[in-house]
Amino acid sequence: MKKKLEIAGQRFGRLTALEESGKKGSLIVWKCRCDCGKEIAVIGSSLTTGHTKSCGCYKSTAISKAKTIHGETNTRLYHIWAGIKARCNNPHKACFSYYGGRGIKYCSEWEEFEPFKRWATQNGYSDKLTIDRINSDGDYSPENCRWADRKTQSLNRRSARLITYRGETKSLIEWSRLYCIDRNTIKSRLKRGWSIEDALTHKLKKSRYG
């Protein structure tokens, strides 16, 4: 039999568990008092997992503090920073599995917005660019991030196939453009067992009609 959860008197963030106050389905609900004085009902597992840490006042305080400090919570750059944190930390985000779910983190320096803003403005940020990780398997950090246009980002996707030829490693798209051969033709040739050199340098035969 599952042991009953006894957390009365324990603190969880800003909340102190007071007493059981009923059930929600099979889950026990606890009456809690927040440091701000407000009392709320919280599912016990939400307390023990850290999902709920206040009555909601913490988020309001954080937003208010952010507005007081830099007044940029509605700017594009702030939303980029907040998006990085959400992708790495929030398992409820649809894209979490591609970031935090596979171990991608952000550096401790970027826990706060101001250091991120300084790095961004000193490293070429503009409203036409988006943040790009140079190593798509690496973390968000000053050493592994840059501001790039959509073309650069598309070449840096994890799905981009990399090919090494004559000591140079480029994506399939880059080789395609360099040798003026359709990338699907290159892919087809490699799939049929052609060498990389032949796949890149063998020109297509021209039709006698064109």
Please write the tens of the pLDDT for every residue from 11-66: 998 999 999 999 988 889 999 999 999 999 999 988 988 888 888 877 666 665 65
Q: Tell me the domain boundaries of the chain.
A: 11-58, 71-155, 162-201
Give the count of beta carbons closer than 10 Å to the beta carbon of residue 84.
20
d(CA 66, CA 88): 20
Among candidate residues 122, 142, 121, the one with its CA nearest the CA of residue 133: 142
**Per-residue pLDDT, 71:** 65
Please write the tens of the pLDDT for every residue from 77-126: 999 999 999 989 988 887 888 889 889 999 999 999 999 999 999 999 99
pTM strictly above 0.75: no
**Is 136 a residue whose pLDDT tops 90?**
no
Q: Identify the residue with better confidence: 42 or 210.
A: 42
d(CA 35, CA 71): 26
d(CA 72, CA 170): 39
